[in-house]
């Protein structure tokens, strides 16, 4: 059995890897760099995780666990909102994972879309979300909008004057996005009609 100190070291290594992978990507991160950040030896990293791929898998599993921490509907969405609002390293990691691509990243995105689709359906039933003829496309688009500032972080941050993974800039962008979703952007339906006429 592992000691409490051993388990703490494992979590510390994983958290250091989340930060490094989020900032530099998996390809740009070495086991030695993670070990130095966690203040442990590279041998201990390999002892716990076997390889850099094993370490990445542990990070993926951790983030997926946070995404799955809710049970259904609004609870799931609140868990995701907490993840995105309060955990800057996790936000960066998730954005980088989606950019780099992996089976785990595909699973993460799909599960976030599924949770969001259920959340929006619940909103329809309660009357605070407008109905749609295409709930899947709505959920995919909503989640895509949610992650776009993170994926385009350098460009968005450059124009908004801050790191989009940090709360201040993130809230600024989110507030404007919610205003657009709540109050609308266009004064008439010309663009909706134009796109609706395309077959």
Phi first, then psi, for residue 27 (nearest 5°) are: -60, -35
Task: Say yes or no to pLDDT of 84 above 60.
Answer: no
Q: Which of 9-18, 77-86, 109-118 has the lowest mean pLDDT?
A: 77-86
The predicted structure's pLDDT at residue 10:
92
The answer to whether 31 touches 46, Cβ cutoff 8 Å, is yes
Residue 180 placed within a domain: no
pLDDT over threshold 70, residue 17: yes
Would residue 145 count as lying in a domain? yes
- Cα–Cα distances (Å) from 130 to 35, 133, 179, in that order, read 49, 10, 15
160, 165, 170, 173 alpha-carbon torsion, rounded to 10°: 50
pLDDT in the model for residue 93: 85
Total domains in the chain come to 1
In a domain, 80, yes or no: yes
Is pLDDT above 80 for 125?
A: yes
Rounded to the nearest 5°, which phi and psi values hold at 161? 75, 35
For residue 96, what are the CA distances in angstroms to 24, 56, 66, 122? Answer: 8, 12, 17, 30
The range of the structural domain enclosing residue 38 comes to 4-151
Residue 171 located in a structural domain: no
pLDDT digits (tens, 9 = 90+) for 25-65: 888 999 999 999 999 999 999 999 999 999 999 998 888 88
Q: What is the pLDDT of residue 75?
A: 45
Does 166 fall in a domain? no
- CATH code where residue 95 lies: 1.10.357.10
Higher pLDDT, 101 or 17: 17
pLDDT digits (tens, 9 = 90+) for 150-168: 788 888 889 988 887 777 7
Does 110 fall in a domain? yes
Indicate the pTM of the whole model. 0.72
Cβ-based neighbours of 18, under 8 Å, separated by 6 or more: 59, 62, 63, 89, 90, 93
Is 191 among the domain residues? no
Neighbours of 129 (CB within 10 A): 16
Greatest distance between any 2 Cα atoms in the chain = 66
Q: Kindly compute the dihedral angle of the four CA atoms of residues 53, 58, 60, 61, in this order, to the nearest 10 degrees.
A: 140
Q: How far is C-alpha 111 from the chain's CA centre?
A: 11
Residue with tokens 């076997």: 50
pLDDT of residue 6: 53
Report whether 111 contacts 60 (CB < 8 A). Answer: no
The confidence band for 87, taking pLDDT boundaries of 50, 70 and 90, is: low
Q: Is residue 41 domain-resident?
A: yes
- Residue that wins the pLDDT comparison between 171 and 158: 158
Please report which confidence band the pLDDT of residue 139 belongs to, taking 50, 70 and 90 as the band edges: very high
pLDDT at 4: 43
Give the pLDDT score at 151: 81
């Amino acid at each position: 059995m592992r000691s409490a100190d051993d388990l703490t070291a494992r979590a510390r290594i994983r958290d250091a890897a989340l930060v490094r992978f989020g900032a530099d990507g998996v390809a740009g991160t070495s086991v030695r760099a993670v070990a130095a950040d966690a203040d442990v030896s590279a041998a201990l990293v390999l002892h716990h995780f076997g390889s850099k791929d094993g370490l990445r898998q542990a990070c993926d599993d951790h983030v997926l666990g946070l995404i799955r921490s809710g049970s259904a509907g609004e609870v799931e969405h609140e868990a995701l909102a907490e993840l995105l609002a309060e955990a800057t390293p996790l936000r960066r990691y998730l954005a980088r994972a989606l950019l780099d691509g992996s089976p785990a990243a595909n699973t993460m995105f799909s599960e976030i879309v599924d949770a969001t689709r259920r959340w929006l359906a619940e909103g329809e039933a309660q009357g605070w979300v407008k109905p749609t003829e295409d709930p899947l496309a709505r959920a995919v688009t909503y989640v895509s909008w949610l992650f776009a500032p993170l994926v385009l972080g350098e460009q968005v941050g450059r124009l908004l004057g801050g790191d989009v993974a940090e709360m201040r800039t993130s809230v600024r962008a989110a507030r404007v996005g919610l205003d657009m979703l709540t109050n609308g952007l266009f004064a008439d339906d010309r663009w909706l009609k134009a796109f609706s006429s395309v077959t």
